[in-house]
Amino acid sequence: MSLAASARRRLVPPAALVLAATLVAPGQAVAAPDRGHDRTAPGKQAVATGYGGAVATVDLDASRTAIEVLKRGGNAMDAAVAAGATLGVTEPYVAALGGGGYMTYYDAERRKVYTVDGRETAPGTMRQDSFVDPETGKAIPFPEAVTSGLGVGVPGTLAQWDTALSRFGTRDLGTLLKPAIKVAERGFTVDQEFHDQTAVNEARFRDIVPTRELFLPGGKPPAVGSTFRNPDLARTYRELAERGPRWLYGGALGREVVRTVRKPAVDPEATRNVRPGLMKTRDLGAYRSRTPEPTRVSYRGLDVYGMPPSSSGGSTVGQVLNMLGDSEFDSKDPVPALHHYLEASKLAYADRGRYVGDPDKVKVPLQELLSKGFARERACLIKPGEAATAPVAPGSPDGDYAPCEPAGGKTRALAYEGPQTTHLVVADKWGNVVAYNVTIEQFGGSGLTVPGRGFLLNNELTDFTLQPPAPGAAPDPNLPGPGKRPRSSMAPTLVLENGKPKLAVGTPGGSTIITTVLQILLNRIDLGMDLPEALAAPRATQRNTPQVFAEPAFIQRYGPALIAKGHKVEPFPGPPTGVIGAATGLEFLRPGLVQAVAEPERRGGGSALVVRPRR
């Protein structure tokens, strides 16, 4: 039975299934002893079902950290922050103090969904043309924007943790950093994924002296099976536990970050052009995390909550669901549902590109983008047997809606967003739930390591549109600006049934995050899959581009039928090639019984754990 049918019938869907560390040089990789903390160790599983709380992350260490916090009486927010700190050790190329992220949180006591926005901000001196080369009048090459101080936004992770814990947590930050400190000192076993991520970055890491010293021990990527330790990050976490967040946002650590951004420690013999950034200490002092109201739409009797702008995740997921809501799909024939999903995504991405940016800096018509009237006006353009030629034009979310109103706005090109993010979900025994996206943008962020501190800085400002539009072109809400947050696609999503949590889901993947979350929801709610099946199923993404990009298994299974409807289906180019996202999710199967789900294979697979497994 589909979740949609169960929601209509008010039925529950069927269940689916310390020793003292030896201090070593930063980044030293040594032969791995027989140890418990091993990302490739037995016990790493993609699905776990049980009681007392649950977690799914990309990493066994992080999942174990969260479960231990839950077992010791911490709540879901405590566990999410502790897991995030551990990911800063074991997944340093996607999660770190030098980045930011978004959280959605269901508070069981208040029976309400909240958000915490820890998105990075641009320095106060950034202009619309800050990424433009004055000699050419064109945006600087994208790789130069990435590996630079210019692309580094004011980090938001630590402020986000502080806000989240002060409002919703039960443990102090110092306590929650202890598991990550142990992992950083003791080290973790290097798996193929970590080795490959380092190898991809080897050339630019070699040119940045502190980064080379930390992540290229012995002058090369650490070998699979070796142990990677980061005593610098352990010391940083210890000092952070003593000094608190103001150490970054108004103290010495902040000054170290600013020096790193403004004067990157480039090897004198390197030929790479690593541009200095604009960040100043007052930019750190001015940073504040935000707690905006979540987005909310109703779909098949369920309430779907997401992140509002500066993320486009909640608005675009919600808009697509609104467009699909008046159609009925047959789980025995998924092609019509997939066609509608792809066509609705095409339309919603056109509207996203035209209207969504930082709401503190530009006017975002969020209420109208999520209105049923606008959804009906846009969905009327979807033809059941024929794919529209992309890119399509945006609509007019102006409150005046008519059947099949033709789109008349000017289309904006899809801005590049790095796919190298991570997502985790946590639920506790009280029914609190967290969905949390954390990132430093590219694998390895800017490539700039704060000397002696053990963490990389982000390159999130490359999520802005780097080239201002030509005169007469469509306005762009995502241009750089002072104190502005670049638009994101991160979409940590909570689904409630009768006011209580039912599903939580999210993924990395840059601009494919939105389509991955949508496809998982479509699979689970409309196509009759259980959550493990919905998350593992092959994926396709349509972001208002001429092609539908898809994983090989999706092309093999659905490609011919969709091509017959006019879709241009091509292999997803990555990175990583052929793989879309690396999702995590959880579902409440019945009161108290939770199923946590991670990727079984994508990016090496994830780790799902519960406090008390169901026998």
Q: What pLDDT is attached to residue 35? A: 33
Question: In whole angstroms, what is the distance from residue 199 CA to residue 216 CA?
Answer: 9
Apex 277 CA angle, 276 and 279, nearest 5: 145
Which letter, b or e, does each residue of 330-358 get, where b requires 16 or more Cβ atoms within 10 Å of its Cβ? Answer: eeeebbbbbbbbbbbbbbbbbbbbbbbbb
Name which residue leads in pLDDT, 615 or 372. 372
- Is pLDDT above 50 for 366? yes
If you average pLDDT over residues 204-229, what whole number do you get? 96
- The order of strands in the sheet holding 569-571 is 540-541, 548-550, 569-571
State how far Cα 461 lies from the chain centre. 15
Rounded Cα gap, residues 279 and 358, in angstroms: 19
Percent of the chain with pLDDT over 70: 90
Residues tagged active-site:
421
Q: What is the pLDDT of residues 494-547, one digit of tens each?
A: 999 999 999 999 999 999 999 999 999 999 999 999 999 999 999 999 999 999
Among the listed ranges 29-33, 463-467, 598-602, which one has the minimum average pLDDT value?
Answer: 29-33
What is the token pair recorded at 489?
Answer: 């696609």
**Beta-carbon contacts of residue 357 (< 8 Å; ≥ 6 apart):** 309, 310, 364, 477, 478, 484, 487
Strand partners, 568: none
Chain centroid, CA 380 distance in Å? 31
Q: Which residue has the higher pLDDT, 15 or 531?
A: 531
The Cα–Cα gap between 385 and 432 comes to 43
- Structure-derived torsion over alpha carbons of residues 180, 182, 185, 191, reported in degrees to the nearest 10: -70
Query: What is the CATH number that goes with domain 46-291+416-601?
Result: 3.60.20.40
Q: For residue 574, what pLDDT is reported?
A: 78
Q: Given pLDDT bands bounded at 50, 70 and 90, which one contains residue 16?
A: very low
Mean pLDDT rounded to a whole number for the chain: 91
Query: 401-427, pLDDT tens digit by residue?
Result: 987 766 655 555 555 555 568 999 999
Percentage of residues in the chain with pLDDT exceeding 90?
86
The predicted model gives 362-380 an average pLDDT of 97
Rounded CA-CA distance 396/391 in Å is: 16
Is residue 38's pLDDT more than 50? no
- Rg, the chain, Cα only: 23
Distance CA 227, CA 25 (A): 12
pLDDT band at 2; cut points 50, 70, 90: low
pLDDT number for residue 425? 98
Amino acid (one-letter) located at 106: Y
For range 48-70, the mean pLDDT: 97
φ, ψ at 388 (rounded to 5°): -70, 145
* Both structure tokens of 434: 């967290």
Q: 65, exposed or middle or buried, with CB in 10 Å at 0-12, 13-18, 19+?
A: buried
* Alpha carbon distances (Å) from 20 to 186, 193, 311: 8, 28, 42
User: Residue 404: its pLDDT value, please?
Assistant: 79
Structure tokens at 415: 């801005």
pLDDT of residue 603: 87
Longest dimension (CA), the chain: 69
- DSSP helix/strand/coil, 411: coil
> Is 24 or 469 the better-scoring residue by pLDDT?
469
Q: What is the pLDDT of residue 471?
A: 87
Domain boundaries, the chain: 46-291+416-601
Cα dihedral 75→65→172→96 (10° resolution): -120
Residue 25: both structure tokens together: 């040089």
- Long-range contacts (CB closer than 8 Å, 24 or more residues apart) made by 3-9: 3/300, 3/302, 3/502, 3/524, 3/525, 3/526, 4/300, 4/301, 4/525, 4/526, 7/300, 7/301, 7/302, 7/497, 7/525, 8/300, 8/301
305 forms bridges with which residues in the sheet? 296, 494
Overall pTM surpassing 0.75 (yes/no): yes
- Please tell me the predicted confidence (pLDDT) of residue 403: 79
Q: Is the pLDDT of residue 18 over 70?
A: no
